[in-house]
Amino acid sequence: MNCREADAVLELYIRDELSADDNSLIAEHLTECERCQAAYEDTRALVTALLDAGEALQPTQRMIPDAGTPLPALAPTRSPRGWIAVAAAFAALTIASTTLLAVPALARQVTVLPVARQIAALEADSAELTAQVEELEVRLAEVGGEELMLVETDPALDASDNTLAQEHAMAFVRAMYGGDIAVLQELATPALAAEIAARPSDYLRDGGVVFGQINNISEHEGDLWVFIRLSDTVEFTDSQFQLNIALERDGDGEGFLVSIVEMDA
């Protein structure tokens, strides 16, 4: 017997519904295969947990007919034992799954269920995101003559260079909305300046701009980035969008030039 064949009959083996020959074959395979041994333990725990949950959740009261009411005669029926086991398992699974979804604390106890694994994973992700948010400091600050929300993370530059880079990026954005190609090219790297000259409509915007939020300069894969959330008076009057702006040191090493501009929703 191979692993695929063992997987197909593992639950029947646990419920003791295989023939004697098949029982011997899978028992022999389990003594030789660590992978299937682990699958056997997981499946056995799952079946036991589901059946226990189904029994524990049985109603304590039943509707009982009056003593004078005769019970209807039922013709004897014969159901294969396998079908009864499947029906019982399905009923237990339905009861257990509904209860586990409604009561996460119970789901955590039955750790072999997929829903329990998902709850644990979501809780871990939530804890990680909470820790990341707690590391951020958000405050009002004046940058480039504008009062806006400043998000501070681990600084990539000292305070003076950070402010200089932020103000350079904001000046670039103002030039975009001011329609001044010459200023845009002056604030950009030679490569980006050439791209602006070739496709000015990609960089020029109509209307005014309102700055909402900016982060301190961060470093990613060797580039310096600043993320600016803003709205304008033409296309985005009711919502904000974000410009991701990469900067490089200029030739003198004293200032910055914009090398990349990306727009996010």
Structural domains of the chain in order of their starting residue, each with its CATH number: 3-58+85-127 (no CATH), 137-264 (3.10.450)
**Cα separation of 75 and 73, whole Å?**
7
**DSSP-derived secondary structure letter, 227:** E
Total-model pTM: 0.49
**Cα separation of 31 and 180, whole Å?**
77
pLDDT digits (tens, 9 = 90+) for 157-200: 898 999 999 999 999 999 999 888 999 999 999 999 999 999 99
Structure tokens at 122: 């979501």
Confidence grade of residue 112 (pLDDT, cut at 50, 70, 90): very low
CB 171 within 8 A of CB 146: no
**Cα separation of 9 and 26, whole Å?**
8
CA dist 175 → 153, 178, 179, 220 (Å): 27, 5, 6, 25
47 closest CA partner among 101, 10, 84, 80: 10
Confidence grade of residue 221 (pLDDT, cut at 50, 70, 90): confident
pLDDT digits (tens, 9 = 90+) for 58-101: 544 444 444 454 544 444 444 444 444 545 454 445 544 544 44
The residue behind tokens 């880079």 is 165
What value does the mean pLDDT take over residues 111-136? 58
